[in-house]
Amino acid sequence: MKIPLVSIVVNAINVYLDLIIIANGLTIALVRLFLLLVLSVCLISTLISTCLLIVIVISFISIGLLPHADKLPIKLLLWQGLCFAVCILYSTVAIMCAHLLYFHYKLC
């Protein structure tokens, strides 16, 4: 018994379409995971940047309350400057991630 060529082609097309549907499902899942990762990085960077900024402000306000500030292993002003630099770095990462999320939202 011979299988007609048309049924072989139809079966091949159905298998191909099933593979495309599976690939699209995986792509959608990977895009969602990527968006979750970008959102997590954005929120964590914003939180760390805000906490560092609060620590810097508190240390500027209470600089006179430290009786032994000269005995610290690192100068207080240098420590505040490093915290500010890291705060700027985390803020930049948060802004870039937020821009990436906004760009993805505009595409969809």
Task: Count the domains in the chain.
Answer: 1
- CA–CA dist 52, 44 (Å, integer): 12
- CA–CA dist 65, 84 (Å, integer): 21
pLDDT (tens place) for every residue of the chain, 108 residues total = 555 655 666 667 677 667 666 767 777 777 788 888 888 999 999 999 999 999 889 888 877 767 776 777 778 788 889 999 999 999 999 999 899 888 888 876
- CA–CA dist 32, 27 (Å, integer): 9
Residue 100 lies in domain: 5-107
pTM over 0.85: no
Listed residue (61, 56, 54, 52) closest to 92, CA to CA: 52
Task: Considering only CA atoms, give the Rg of the chain.
Answer: 28
Tokens of residue 16, six digits: 């191909």
